[in-house]
């Protein structure tokens, strides 16, 4: 079934069949050096951030004072955000992506979905920035309730381990922007990356791992596996015996503990 109309801004890049952007117009290298100097237009402090230009939901008076609560770090093509939006339609969700073309794709994907489904996907947003450097520029202390690190780049070479999105120092920043009781979700099919993320979280004094009963009762957990494009690729490759990781997908999900008194 063909889509009858598309957002005027997206004509020429969307599929006639789906009305969504086609990735062939957004080619991008798979890896980006997060330590290099990229050109970003980041606010100096959270109060300087203009979220009204990002979220149509904020145009509604009853939602005008809402703040971003869910953050997908390195959101890729936005699959997790799109999956969660109908589940939490009045919760502001943000994807952060460092790669220019991928960020452009997600912005256009959100715009296309909003055009196709009036009144829906109004809580989705994307900014291009470097999460390893600029989170405190956007978020106040204890603002976020959930953070997602889904199939992050493992940066296999030892000399590039400093590029990984999880480290002791970075966890201090994540603990700062995550409210007490907030949740960090991680998933990967690369055992070395799982050990990196779970190991850092496990030894950090402000995080504790969720138990199996809690995982089973969390409606988000089943969405972690294949909502993202990277997750879908992992399972396709696994079925074909071509998985680039270690074959098994591993979760590590942690709660932000209260600050010591």
**pLDDT tens column, 156-205:** 677 767 768 888 889 999 999 999 999 999 999 999 999 999 999 999 99
Q: Give the predicted TM-score (pTM) of the model.
A: 0.86
Q: Please list the alpha-helical segments (H only) found in the chain.
A: 79-84, 100-116, 131-138, 168-177, 191-203, 212-217, 229-239
pLDDT in tens, 28-62: 555 555 545 555 689 999 999 999 999 999 999 99
Whether residue 229 contacts residue 77, with contact meaning beta carbons closer than 8 Å, is answered with yes
Answer yes or no: are the C-beta atoms of 165 and 186 closer than 8 Å: no
Catalytic member of 72, 104, 108, 153: 153
Average pLDDT, integer, range 201-222: 96
At residue 200, the 3 state secondary structure works out as helix
Does residue 1 carry a pLDDT above 50? no
Task: Judge whether 145 and 71 are in contact, CB under 8 Å.
Answer: no
Counting residues of the chain whose pLDDT is more than 70, the rounded percentage is 85
pLDDT tens sequence across 111-126: 999 999 999 999 999 9
Report the chain's mean pLDDT, rounded to a whole number: 87
- Pick from 63, 68, 61, 66: which is nearest to 127 by CA? 68
Beta strands in the chain (DSSP E): 68-73, 92-97, 124-128, 144-150, 178-188, 207-209, 250-256
Strand 144-150: give its sheet, edge to edge: 124-128, 92-97, 68-73, 144-150, 178-188, 250-256, 207-209
Respond yes or no: is residue 248 known to be catalytic: no
């Amino acid at each position: 079934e063909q889509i009858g109309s598309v957002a005027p801004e997206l004509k020429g890049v969307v599929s006639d069949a789906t009305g969504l952007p086609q990735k062939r117009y957004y080619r991008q290298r798979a890896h980006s050096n997060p330590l290099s100097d990229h050109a970003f237009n980041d606010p100096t402090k959270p109060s300087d951030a203009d979220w009204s230009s990002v979220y149509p939901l904020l145009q509604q008076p009853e939602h005008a004072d809402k703040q971003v609560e869910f953050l997908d770090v390195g959101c890729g093509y936005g699959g997790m955000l799109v999956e969660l939006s109908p589940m939490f339609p009045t919760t502001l969700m943000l994807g952060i992506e460092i790669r220019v073309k991928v960020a452009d794709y997600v912005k256009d994907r959100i715009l296309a979905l909003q055009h196709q489904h009036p009144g829906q996907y109004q809580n989705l947003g994307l900014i291009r920035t470097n999460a390893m450097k600029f989170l405190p520029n956007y978020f106040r202390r204890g603002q976020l309730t959930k953070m997602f690190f889904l199939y992050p780049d493992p940066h296999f070479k030892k000399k590039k381990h400093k590029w990984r999105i999880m480290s002791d120092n970075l966890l201090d920043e994540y603990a700062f922007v995550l409210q007490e009781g907030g949740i960090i979700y991680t998933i990967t099919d690369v055992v070395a990356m799982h050990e990196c993320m779970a190991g850092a979280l496990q030894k950090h004094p402000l995080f504790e791992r969720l138990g199996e009963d809690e995982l089973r009762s969390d409606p988000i957990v089943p969405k972690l596996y294949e909502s993202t494009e990277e997750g879908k690729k992992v399972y396709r490759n696994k079925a074909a015996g071509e998985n680039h990781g270690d074959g098994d997908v591993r979760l590590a999900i942690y709660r932000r503990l209260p600050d010591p008194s």
